[in-house]
Amino acid sequence: MVDFSLVKEAAAILESAVNVAVLTGAGVSAESGVPTFRASEGLWEGHRVEDVATPTGFQRDPELVWRFYNERRQNLRSVVPNPGHVALAKLEEKLGDNFTLITQNIDGLHQKAGSKNVLEIHGSIRKTLCTHCGLIAHAPIEMDLGDLPRCLDCSHLLRPKIVWFHEMLPIDIWETAQFAASEATAFLVVGTSAVVFPAASLIPIAKMTRSPGARIIEINLAATEVSSMCDISILGPSGVVLPLILKELGIEV
Ligand code: OAD
């Protein structure tokens, strides 16, 4: 059962906020049927993280890595955004430039739901990056990329345009995210375990960069590492809680 008094409190904070920023994680897409990361003993759909989500894993066995991401691309073909994604798109519609959506998700479901300005700090499974010339290309998930896709420009091996462990976040996107967090007067943390850095550092940035700092609202099925830092923690599925908050703001999802 969602605590409705917290929903009302969250809506009141958003109503009076000057700038709103949101950090989302895998939990937002869970109700669409996309598995979260930390559910199964450190394995991602049966694979070790080091094998499928590090540059050394890719160097060692690019075919395995591509098989892994091609399967995830294939699975996404039948996936649609859920009411949580839609609620965030509608919040952007209401707040315009005073709203920033920062996501750790690579699935592109926020954009599918209608979100326009999405800072994908961990990249996108719908893009490729050439390992040689650095060309970034759109790779819609309906497209069959093949076992070891090659760059159309220089014929070298492509990789998914995803930030792997031990890699830097794209600097321009990360700086924009940090700025949005520091300017926010309300900061939503939705469906993330908040254990992966630097993404999780956006929460203390939002809280501490300026005085008095943002009011932090967390929406998650369970308490997380950052719950104690939040002003409100609403326990419940984001696909239910976010539309309830929007309803309080007079917006039907
Ligand atoms: P995690 O799998 O670590 O955490 C998912 C969070 O979502 C957990 O806290 C769950 O309790 C919560 N959750 C699950 N279902 C939910 C629902 N319906 N509504 C609300 N919350 C729900 O995923 P992330 O925090 O996104 O990085 O993981 C962060 C990063 O770790 C990922 O972006 C990925 C991974 O390594 C890279 O690939 C670089």
> Which two three-digit tokens encode residue 147?
């076992």
Share of the chain residues as helix, strand and coil, in percent rounded to the nearest 5: 40, 20, 40
pTM assigned to the model:
0.97
Instruction: Answer whether 31 contacts ligand 1 (Cβ < 6 A).
Output: yes
Question: Nearest residue CA, atom 8 of ligand 1?
Answer: 193
Determine whether the shortest distance from the Cβ of 34 to ligand 1 is under 6 A. Answer: no
| 54 three-class SS | coil
Look at residue 214 in the predicted model and tell me its pLDDT.
96
Give the C-alpha separation, 71 to 170, whole Å.
25
Whether 85 and 115 have beta carbons less than 8 Å apart is answered as yes
163, 192, 201: residue to mutate for ligand 1 pocket, most atoms within 8 A of CB: 192
DSSP type of residue 250 = T
What average pLDDT is seen over the chain? 96
The per-residue pLDDT for range 154-174, each reduced to its tens digit, is 999 999 999 999 999 999 999
Q: What is the reported pLDDT for 40?
A: 60
Q: Which residues are catalytic?
A: 122
Cα–Cα dist 196/96, whole Å: 28
- H/E stretch holding 158: strand 158-162
Region 88-110: what's the mean pLDDT? Answer: 97
Please work out whether the CB of residue 24 comes within 6 Å of at least one atom of ligand 1. no
Indicate the pLDDT class of residue 104, thresholds 50, 70 and 90. very high
pLDDT digits (tens, 9 = 90+) for 187-244: 999 999 999 999 999 999 999 987 889 999 999 999 999 999 999 999 999 999 999 9
For residue 135, give Cα distances in angstroms to 108, 160, 212: 20, 11, 42
Place of tokens 């559910």: 39
pLDDT > 90 fraction of the chain, expressed in percent and rounded:
92
